[in-house]
Amino acid sequence: MKKFLAMCITVGLALTMLAACGDQETDQAADGKGSDGGKKYAMVFKNTGNPYGEKMMEGFEEAIKEIGGEVILRSPDQPTAEGQIQIIEQLITQQVDAIAIAGNDEDALQPVLKKAMDAGIKVISVDSAVNSESRILHVNQADPERIGRSQIQAVSEMIGGEGQIAVLSATSQATNQNIWIEWMKKELEEPGYENIELVKVAYGDDLRDKSTSEAEALLLQFPDLKAIIAPTTVGIAAAGKVLTDKGLAGEIALTGLGLPSEMATYLTNGVSPAMFLWNPIDVGYAAGMTAHVLVEGEITGALGDTYNAGRLGEKEVVEDGEGTQVMLGDPFRFDADNIDEWKEVY
């Protein structure tokens, strides 16, 4: 009987080990890892199902495969700091070499990201920054001042310099959104905007259904609304559909930051006279190359550091408040005249 039990236990352990190996292979395939035993580079985006995030991860993966590393792509189901904290804890256990994170909260991630850095992991933020104590440097998609000011300048042109406008943002904790909105407000303080009133900043949490509901609520709450600025790809697409479905093209203008592939219809039907963005694939690629040179010790993230960012060329580390950052460039304007060139790209 004892021999039979021992044999059962041995077989059970063998089956368990085989199952574990199977799970590991599935995880690696899902993460897009290679088999060359290279260093591990992880990107953590805000939430799953976000087209902008998917394109950014595509660029990150391109960069890491280019340098021969292993790629891990992770996102929580909902855009919360708690979800990202759980993922980062797992990545620390996996002993990754670098983490690039688009933060859901500027400060809430600090304890776990400091833990990661204390474990020797190179931590950078990308797109949406975490505070300077939580990362080595930030990869910034464009100049935040230019992003904010350009959207007010555009909307003023669209509504003839007068009327009520509203902002449909992502989450109230999104660092990048909040900085852009602050620059919008500063631009509105400049001469020439006296007849434009910012009536509300609404938050769709980068969720399509909630962004749709918030856009509809703005129309009900402010019947004299002349324009919506949505500095989020999810929010601007949701607002575009709402305005189109309600037949409001030419009555309420829409601008902000959108994916050309998602906004082509609204740019050509007149709902959105123009909108802005950068290439999220390039943003992710830059993050991957930046993580690589940090892991290899080619830079430390100090002010004035320069490095080769692959197909994006030479990059320089510049000041970012209390920390440092790498900046890609100005946002690009999309309208009915050029959207056909870009809608198939991203």
The token duo for 24 is 């590991």
Number of structural domains, the chain? 2
Token pair in block for residue 305: 């550091």
- Same structural domain for residues 180 and 159? yes
CA-to-CA distance for 120 and 141, rounded, in angstroms? 26
Are 130 and 175 in a shared domain? Answer: no
Q: Are residues 227 and 298 in the same domain?
A: no
* Same domain flag for 324 and 208: no
Reference 204, options 216, 220, 222; nearest CA is 216
Q: Which pLDDT does position 14 carry in this prediction?
A: 39
Residues of the chain with pLDDT under 50: 1-36
Provide the token pair at 132.
């300077």
Residue 271, domain CATH = 3.40.50.2300
Other C-beta atoms lying within 10 Å of the C-beta of residue 179: 20
Q: Both 155 and 124 in a single domain?
A: no
In this structure, are 150 and 273 located in the same domain? Answer: yes
Q: What is the DSSP letter of 265?
A: H
Residue 1 belongs to a domain:
no
Read off the pTM. Answer: 0.81
| The two three-digit tokens of residue 340, written as one number | 């056909």
Q: For residue 199, is it within any domain?
A: yes
DSSP 167-213: EEES-TT-HHHHHHHHHHHHHHTSTT-TTEEEEEEEE-TT-HHHHHH
Q: Please indicate, yes or no, whether residues 175 and 231 belong to a single structural domain of this protein.
A: yes
Rounded to 10°, the helix 233-245/260-268 angle is: 30
27 within some domain: no
Domain end, chosen from 242, 262, 277, is at 277
3-state secondary structure of 205: coil
342 part of a folded domain: no
Which of 314, 345, 316 shows the shortest CA–CA distance to 332?
A: 345
Q: Note whether residue 219 is domain-resident.
A: yes
Nearest Cα residue to 267 out of 333, 336, 331, 337: 336
Angle between the 233-245 and 51-66 helix axes, to the nearest 10 degrees? Answer: 150
- Phi, psi torsion values for 147, nearest 5 degrees: -60, -50
Question: In this predicted model, what pLDDT tens digit does every residue of 232-290 receive, in sequence order?
Answer: 999 999 999 999 999 999 999 999 999 999 999 999 999 999 999 999 999 999 999 99
136 with 285, same domain: the answer is yes
**Does the residue 207 lie in any domain?**
yes
Write out the residue range of the structural domain in which residue 260 sits.
144-277
Place of tokens 């989450």: 171
Q: Are residues 261 and 150 in the same domain?
A: yes
Write the burial class of residue 24 (CB in 10 Å: 0-12 exposed, 13-18 middle, 19+ buried): exposed
pLDDT of residue 321: 82
Mind listing the pLDDT tens digit for each residue in 8-29?
A: 333 343 333 333 333 332 233 3
Q: Residue 38: what pLDDT?
A: 84
DSSP codes, 274-305:
EEEE--HHHHHHHHHHHHHHHHTTS--S-TT-
